[in-house]
Amino acid sequence: MAELRHSSSMGSRAASASPRKRDDVAVASSPLSPDNIPTSSSSDDNRSRHTRDRGGLRSFFSAGHLHSLFPFSFTDDARLHTHNSKISVFVLCLIFLAAIISVSSIVNRLNAPYLCKKDGIVLHCPRVKEHPSLWENPYSATTSWKPCAERRVGIISDIPAENETNGYIFIHAEGGLNQQRIAICNAVAVAKIMNATLILPVLKQDQIWKDQTKFEDIFDVDHFIDYLRDDVRIVRDIPGWFTDKSELFTSIRRTVKNIPKYAPAQFYIDNVLPRIKEKKIMSLKPFVDRLGYDNVPPEINRLRCRVNYHALKFLPEIEQMADQLVSRMKNRTASSNPFMALHLRFEKGMVGLSFCDFVGTRAEKALMALYRLKEWPRRFKDGSHLWALALQKRKEGRCPLEPGEVAVMLRAMGYPKETQIYVASGQVYGGQNRMAPLRNMFPNLDV
């Protein structure tokens, strides 16, 4: 058997060596050959061969060949595939949500009314659509309100004669015109509280304005006295029997100086009235914000309103000039573009008095320190405590706003770049450099 297998194998090698025989073998093995038509036995062999071929393909797929080729498309574990799909979906959702938030944030920043791009010293701000109700009264109910502080008509006055009151009071109205009006209103109210005669207030010369304007140069004195004749006795000048008028301005014996800010009405009755009855004429100094609002009777506050809105009337020539200025400003902007009168309150005196810290050079801050030391030596002292005080006041919002901060606030409120603004104030501390941010954000600015 061994020799037979050897001879047959040798024969097969010999047959394969001959080309002619190789072709014959190829033809005989061809499926198109008539001799190669399968019989039942050969069919079983073919079925078994096909089974082996399918097993080979199955082994190819199960061996991880395709997994090595396509690692992200196929996996052996169905559960792992489902878990990975959920993680992929979750990550995609997070990315999509982050994209939406980012786009929304970018859009909001681009549409922000106060967002501006700085190009050198020029600020380029995005155009803001003006809200229709921007210039309207937000409290529509106030349009139906009616004045309630007019002079009482048909009431018999109970004001005593000049020589029958408890005495005379005299005040200096300090500060700007607004502070002076408040001081005048408070002086009338204090005279009413103490049943005293009020000497026509004197407008004190301001340290910044250096203005020597008198009461009668601004207000109608006759109208002022006549309108309040049923409330308070008012005289134009110091009575003639008081010969030494300079004493009223300089003497400590004729001055009440211990009045606290926003004092109640009872303080004047208990502390000031006895001295007036004794001396008959007294000066109240200082008199800035020396009467409270919530700690006085309602009729006293009503009297304040009567003084401010009815008794204090500008002279006809001043009212005529004011009407002419308003008419010019309206005609310049037309009805479709209202104008704004802006009082910055950022003059040198206000900046110094606030004792706040502002952006500036070392030279500017050194000059401001010298100015404060000269004008307010008691408050300034050595200046070592002012930095902490300035920071505290800034956090509490008790510092004047710089022009740039006012500009940002106006843009945030919705006022567009085209808004016409008229600056109603004195010389701004810092000059044009300080005004540059406001002018860049609102080019239609007139000083």
Note the pLDDT of residue 310. 94
Calpha distance 30→351 (Å, rounded) = 111
Calpha distance 69→115 (Å, rounded) = 53
Residue 219 has a CB neighbour count (10 Å cut-off) of 22
Radius of gyration of the chain (CA): 48
Q: Which residues, including other chains, have CB under 8 Å from residue 371's CB and lie 6 or more apart?
A: 348, 352
- With beta carbons less than 8 A apart as the criterion, state whether 194 and 273 touch: yes
- With beta carbons less than 8 A apart as the criterion, state whether 426 and 175 touch: no
What residue type is 384 in one-letter code? S
Note the pLDDT of residue 136. 80
Q: Which residues, including other chains, have CB under 8 Å from residue 15's CB and lie 6 or more apart?
A: 21, 22, 25
Calpha distance 231→236 (Å, rounded) = 16
Classify residue 256 by its DSSP letter: E
Note the pLDDT of residue 107. 59
- CA 285 → CA 61, 259, 378, distances in Å? 105, 8, 17
What residue type is 379 in one-letter code? R
Structure tokens at 50: 């096909």
Per-residue confidence in pLDDT tens, the chain, 447 aa: 344 343 344 444 433 444 444 444 443 444 434 444 444 444 445 444 444 444 444 444 444 444 444 444 444 555 556 667 778 878 888 888 888 887 766 655 555 544 556 566 555 666 666 676 778 877 777 778 877 888 777 666 777 777 789 999 999 898 888 889 999 999 999 999 999 999 999 998 766 666 788 999 999 999 999 999 999 999 999 888 887 777 777 777 888 988 999 999 999 999 999 999 999 999 998 898 999 999 999 999 999 999 999 999 999 999 999 999 888 888 876 656 678 899 888 988 889 888 888 888 889 888 998 998 888 888 877 666 677 788 888 888 889 999 999 999 998 888 888 888 999 877 889 888 899 999 999 999 988
Note the pLDDT of residue 141. 77
Note the pLDDT of residue 70. 44
Q: Which residues, including other chains, have CB under 8 Å from residue 96's CB and lie 6 or more apart?
A: none
Tell me the fold of 162-315: Rossmann fold (3.40.50)
- With beta carbons less than 8 A apart as the criterion, state whether 406 and 429 touch: no
Note the pLDDT of residue 67. 47
Q: Which residues, including other chains, have CB under 8 Å from residue 434's CB and lie 6 or more apart?
A: 346, 402, 403, 404, 428
Calpha distance 445→447 (Å, rounded) = 7
Q: Which residues, including other chains, have CB under 8 Å from residue 90's CB and lie 6 or more apart?
A: none
Residues counted in the chain: 447
Note the pLDDT of residue 313. 96
Q: Among 303, 36, 330, 285, which Cα is nearest to 191's?
A: 303
- With beta carbons less than 8 A apart as the criterion, state whether 151 and 230 touch: yes
Structure tokens at 204: 């004190």
Give DSSP secondary structure letters for 262-325.
Answer: T--HHHIIIIIHHHHHHHSEEEE---SS-S-STTS-HHHHHHHHHIIIII--B-HHHHHHHHHH
**Element spanning 420, H or E:** strand 420-423
Note the pLDDT of residue 128. 61
Kindly report the CA angle at 441 between 440 and 445, in degrees rounded to 5?
75
Q: Which residues, including other chains, have CB under 8 Å from residue 112's CB and lie 6 or more apart?
A: 126
Note the pLDDT of residue 333. 62
Strand order, beta sheet including 339-342: 339-342, 420-423, 445-446
Residue 25 has a CB neighbour count (10 Å cut-off) of 14
